[in-house]
A and B are shown apart, each in its own frame.
Chain A
């Protein structure tokens, strides 16, 4: 088993999403390496690329790893992993790692959005995922950013300049795109349209959230879209609650959870062997 020096264990989590592959390296319970790379057509390679970039940032090699867990939609082609676990379970563990009192998570990724209810140990009590369309996902924001010819980062900033949220009726990315174009044509201020779009996504995601029925406790916002401050405040307003976002890039949350589970499961295995 890989181990750099006596008593030190390294664990890896790899989360291969539709948009990007993320990896995190743990030294015991501490994050010592991380990486985010774009997901390319070859999913296996993308996962490996993320893992090796994270290993490099941690200054260790693949042989030093004790255990690796792969998650995300690309988990099915991850020959480098010792175990495969769904992103639902991984996100729960990740959020619990950063916020031990978390009772629920909203995760918005490239093609999925999900609401997860947690028990006190960071286990999944219940979860709901979006339908198979792009409404209420990072993809929706990407399509709109393209229609407005702005970068995805600028999209978030633009909401701050809006005076009010222009109502957007379509949650379908395709219909919303044409709605945006006609709003622009009618002279509506771009910042107000963007603000309206963020509310449209927030409302869509809030219905997922209401279905898991989590009332009290800390709520955590994860996934690449959690970096969008405009959406975060729209969601907070729609849900009537504060959303916590980790200081470590929230896009890494699934990979962090995968690494935590790599550690837990490896230690359990060792315990079992000893018993």
Chain B
């Protein structure tokens, strides 16, 4: 399959980005590294600070390096991210002045503490309430965002300007809408862009300036509209899967590589580093209170509790995507020691089983020694799905006769 031309433009922009950051810092600009997805990027941007979304995966050696600061029974994403700071080569880690975390996952929170204690990084915490669905939780978070903004104002050396905030809110809304438009192609029988490419485009936004990211997203969208996919008969043995579960951070291509090798088409995801970066999100008013409300109300991380299965937005999002993107099954990826996602495996499985949607859990880390086992599991799941599709196809053609 041909790669959309615009993807090369994303690559070029990323090549120039580290240099831009160095220059901006020389000119007195501050870079704010962001962990987790409850921090309003709009506030950072409107204060003239440069937001970067940090966190890396897929490198077992770097993950090993993190063990020096936390134990080897911690999540590999957290270990690797510490390893990246220890190594001191990654241009985004190196060029970060202040690190912020919206505290949802305990392990990630500890990681930021390690970066403060052992690497002398200035850090800023935004507490996220567990009772986010109650008025008390919302009120708490609004105050947290206010306090967080006051700290950012000190770093930026200027006060928040309501007009600039409004502009930043519009900019990020535009980015989310354009990303959603690109993501929607995955629902098609023949998408002009693959899931892996969509994720690359999303991850580019972790580092690029939002203005640059938006212009590239728009460019990509206009290109995708012009790509004509050849009309082929859809093979009944093609397998369309949705990926759910733990973070798949930049650099971690382990599972998608196996899936591509086996010919699986990934049609959707609900990963915090994927679809959940833009989905289910509306800022009703361009103020701090409006942002606090929108961020707190986003599709939650599994580390966030929910009071009622029936109103759980995370589950609702999974089911909606299976339907809209016509997924044949769900591949539930859990990183080793990522408890929030791992202890929900059985629940997810039972709920999907009840709707007769094939579910496969893959519990893994960044090491290469279980690639063979992953192959067997995914292939066996594909055999189940293909057989079912064949039966449905057969039953339909019998009816037609």
Contacts and interface: CB of A to CB of B under 8 A. Distances in A.
Contacts of B372: 73
Interface stretch (B48-56, B64-72, B377-385): B377-385
Contacts of A132: 369-370, 373
B389 interface: no
Interface residues of B, number: 15
A87 B384 CA distance: 12
Contact of B380 (A124, A131, A211): A124
Interface majority SS on B: helix, strand, loop or mixed?
Answer: helix
Interface of A (DSSP majority class): mixed
A131 B337 CA distance: 13
B314 interface: no
Nearest to B358: A126
A123 B358 CA distance: 14
Contacts of B375: 76
14 contacts: A76-B375, A86-B376, A87-B376, A87-B380, A88-B376, A88-B383, A89-B380, A89-B383, A123-B387, A127-B380, A129-B373, A129-B376, A129-B377, A211-B346
A81 interface: no
A85 interface: yes
Nearest to B384: A124
- The 8 closest A-B CB pairs, nearest first, are A88-B380, A86-B380, A132-B370, A89-B383, A86-B379, A124-B384, A86-B376, A73-B372
B276 interface: no
B29 interface: no
Interface of A: 73, 76, 85-89, 112, 123-127, 129, 131-132, 211
A112 B377 CA distance: 12
B175 to A, nearest CB: 39
Nearest to B382: A86
Given A73-B376, A85-B383, A87-B376, 9 more contacts: A73-B372, A86-B380, A88-B383, A89-B380, A89-B383, A123-B387, A124-B384, A126-B353, A211-B346
A211 B346 CA distance: 8
B363 interface: yes
B369 A86 contact: no
Contacts of A211: 346
A170 B370 CA distance: 22
Contacts of B363: 131
A123 B383 CA distance: 10
B289 to A, nearest CB: 45
Nearest to A72: B376
Contacts of A129: 373, 376-377
